[in-house]
Amino acid sequence: MTTGDLPIPPAAGTTATAAAAVPEAGHLHHLDPRHVAHGRLVGAVVTLTIAVSLAVGALIVMAVADGLAVGGRLLVAGATLAVVAGVALLSWRWPVVEHAHTRYGWGEAGLEIRRGVWWRREIHVPRSRIQHTDVSQGPLERRFGLATLHVFTAGTENAEVRLGGLDHATAAAIRDHLLDGAGGDVL
């Protein structure tokens, strides 16, 4: 079963049982499909935080405004529910949209990232400019077997380029590939 052209990611709390094959260098690839489930979980946490904050604020407004009529209370409650519903819908849908508009590739020339829904951005990191790379995992990324690749370059613009939503093995393989034969240290 698919969502558009995206496979449905595993349910929250599950990870792939077998390590995913590392995508081939020299081609553009989409992020790992588990990135969608990860983004939805992060969105759910953000939505819950906003919902609790708005509910507390609405209760304070209703408690302080003694003369607020029933219509005014319904308006405050309705506005609170509308905002929470909008944030929840965006949190559910945005990871799919972001996934569809993010691609990456690497090769002998370096790293290429194409991303952006409204404003498209192409980032090319020449291999000769790469100073060092890191792979990091937050607790939610670990839960989904994902990682973020950090590429540090010589220069001020895009001195650190991040690419999240990669399978951990893929991020490590790209890191190793970018550092192999990078020309040694530059002083």
Count the residues in the chain.
Answer: 187
Query: In this predicted structure, what is the pLDDT of residue 7?
Result: 43
Query: In this predicted structure, what is the pLDDT of residue 100?
Result: 93
Bridge partner residues of 123 (DSSP): 113
Residue 24 to residue 36: CA distance in whole angstroms:
21
Residue 177 to residue 175: CA distance in whole angstroms:
5
User: What are the tokens at 95?
Assistant: 């990871």
Sign of the C-alpha dihedral, residues 130, 138, 4, 25? positive
At residue 171, what is the residue type? Answer: A
Question: What pLDDT tens digit does each residue of the chain (187 aa) get?
Answer: 334 444 434 444 444 434 456 777 778 899 999 999 999 999 999 999 999 999 998 888 878 877 677 777 788 888 999 999 999 999 999 999 999 999 999 888 889 999 999 999 999 988 888 888 999 999 999 999 999 999 998 877 668 899 999 999 999 999 988 887 554 444 4
Query: In this predicted structure, what is the pLDDT of residue 86?
Result: 94
Three-class DSSP labels, the chain? CEECCEECCCCCCCCCCCCCCCCCCCCCEECCCHHHHHHHHHHHHHHHHHHHHHHHHHHHHHHHCCCCCHHHHHHHHHHHHHHHHHHHHHHHHHHHHHHHCCEEEEECCEEEEEECCCCCEEEEEEHHHEEEEEEECCHHHHHHCEEEEEEEECCCCCCEEEEEEEEHHHHHHHHHHHHCCCCCCCC
Q: For residue 127, which phi and psi values (nearest 5 degrees)?
A: -60, -35
